[in-house]
Structure 1
């Protein structure tokens, strides 16, 4: 994060202060200017908060303190082409702080409009979260109108700023409790001409799948019924976690419906495995139905955690098609090695097959450390 911290640096604060002084001379931007010497080894979030607090302090001690001065100052600064980049993160946060402190109800909506004006220079996706947390329904009503905005950055803000699990951003609990609330925004944008926007829609849909998988699958089904040439990718990327986890509804959308199959196995080549090492397993699949069937064949390793419980991770094997009565033998090796992303713990583990989302043949084994 060292390089990221420098996204807000003394030269950037100097440029910000100079532009604000020229654009909004009614405010003395002394505390903002002083932050250039206070950054030290602060991380990016702490630098943002430091500068935002200074902007609020300068405006609050000016001749007309409050949100209206902030909005006028920041809008005037937009006339300067160099009013751009990461120093606008604290600008947007300062605007939100003053809007939320305002007694004027119209300042809430005006602040949303200001974020839409700022976001082509730097995304307002982080600052908008606090407005959503204060009054989600009111904020979403305004944000929905952004889906028709001519600027792709504003349309993306509608999707990205309302994601339940937006990286780096504060959580908005209501977005998790009410996953259906943002679906109208995504439905308005899934066929957007901009890949930048469509990728945000897919990531947002994947976020929603954590808590509302059935609603996500139903939404994707409606999108595919009114698809354009990009909809398939949006749906596949948006349902990627559900597909990997073997959600039957998600798999069915891509041609892997529930299947009539008989599974023999899995058979392990050893019951006790020393790490590092490899486990080989084999099994057979037979189509017991009367039609050809497409199968997504996966397996799960139920890893033992440090506290003794187990946590499953899905791994892909292959996709295949079986005619009625046809069988297929499959073998696979799985490596167990200590890694920074996967720490193995000794004790009981399990391997389980997953075919078109349905579990088959759980078999246990023991891991030992070398």
Structure 2
């Protein structure tokens, strides 16, 4: 069995931190720091463990943040000198985020120095939330940094809806201040950075779909293969939802001459089991059509209503007068992210985002059981 995630930080982390700070700053009370952390750290969860070390740092470092920041910076690896890295730096993020307020330039510079050794995308967000204009002015300069971790921090740390992190409500409401950062990184040589840009645009698309569709249209002209991948990945939520312009940006125009027939092998499925189905597509027009085929399972909820979940299918071309049959199986088995309920469900097929066919089926659950 895998070790619990919280064990990424533990007594060893507290000792490593104490050793690093003691090397960087002679007056540091190594023993008192460990007395503050070792008796309690094993009883805490992951983020609490980091905060426990961060709180002890606050108690035992100088009260002046500018001075403390220089000490923490000296704890980081530099050239041939080893230092703290990895999960040991979670507590540095937490310390900076809490105690660096009012010291924007110093705090962001320290997070920039930290990010090649451990992510700093969580640490910079309180500063963006409180001093957005000033923070983004500094972060915008990072897009030219030679270190790809720093460039990625510029895009990842400013994501309006970064998972597991505090939301940035001002950027959720108006993301235009971060668009220049994303534009500057569209053709970054590192896939690691480009993927972050795509994820940020996908975040924005959840609240501003037309803005992202327009952004993609502007930047798709003459784009490299790598940029086109980025823009399509950025459009994944819009494509899944059938946003017309987002689909048109990638050649999936509205279809009026492609007919779809959906056939189920059985309309009753025992859990666990599989829904087997075929989609027959016929191009009745006079030109070849590019077709994006997706399907949605409408799962029954506890109250009897149906909730759709879209699954990506495939992209294909159908010549004029031709037909294509797609055979698929969709598994129903226990998963941690869904509770299955017996009764009516539905399978729906979408072509280029437009719903074209739907069939009901019944899910049978074992007596007294739910998935």
Q: 1:95 to 1:267 in 2, by over 3 A?
A: closer
Question: Contact conserved, 1:298 with 1:353, CA < 8 A, in 2?
Answer: yes
Counterpart contact for 2:282–2:321, Cα < 8 Å: yes
Shift of 1:196: 2.1
Q: 1:222 to 1:33 in 2, by over 3 A?
A: farther
RMSD across aligned positions (CA): 2.7
Contact 2:275–2:329 (8 Å) recurs in 1:
yes
Query: Which residue number in structure 2 is paired with residue 149 of structure 1?
Result: 145
**Aligned equivalents of 2:116, 2:32: Cα separation in 1:** 26
Taking structure 2 as the reference length, the TM-score comes to 0.86
Q: How does 1:108-257 map to 2 (within 5 A)?
A: 108-257=104-253
Quote the residue 2:87 is aligned against: 86
Partner of 2:369: none
CA contact (8 A) 2:251 2:290 kept: yes
In structure 2, C-alpha distance between the alignment counterparts of 1:300 and 1:266, rounded to whole Å: 13
Deviation at 1:92, TM superposition (A): 2.8
Structure 2 residues without counterparts, runs of 5 or longer: 367-371
Choose 206-215 or 240-249, whichever is displaced more.
Answer: 240-249
Q: TM-score, normalised by structure 1?
A: 0.86
Query: Counterpart in 1 of 2:306?
Result: 310
Question: Is contact 1:272–1:365 with CA below 8 Å preserved after alignment?
Answer: yes
CA distance in 2, matches of 1:13, 1:303: 47
Q: Deviations over 1:83-125 (max 9, x none)?
A: 323222212321232222x4xxxx1122111211222222211
Contact kept? 2:298, 2:306, Cα under 8 Å: yes
Contact 2:259–2:284 (CA<8 Å) still a contact in 1?
A: no
Counterpart position of 1:6: 7
Q: How many residues align?
A: 361
2:64 to 63, 66, 71: 66
Structure 1 position 192, deviation (Å): 0.9
The runs of 5 or more residues in structure 1 that have no matched partner are: none
SS at structure 2 position matched to 1:234 = helix
Deviation at 1:229, TM superposition (A): 4.3
User: Contact between 1:203 and 1:237, CA under 8 Å: does it hold in 2?
Assistant: yes
Q: After superposition, what is the alpha-carbon deviation per residue over 1:177-200, rounded to whole angstroms, capped at 9, x for unaligned?
A: 233332221111121112221222
Moved more, 346-355 or 265-274: 265-274
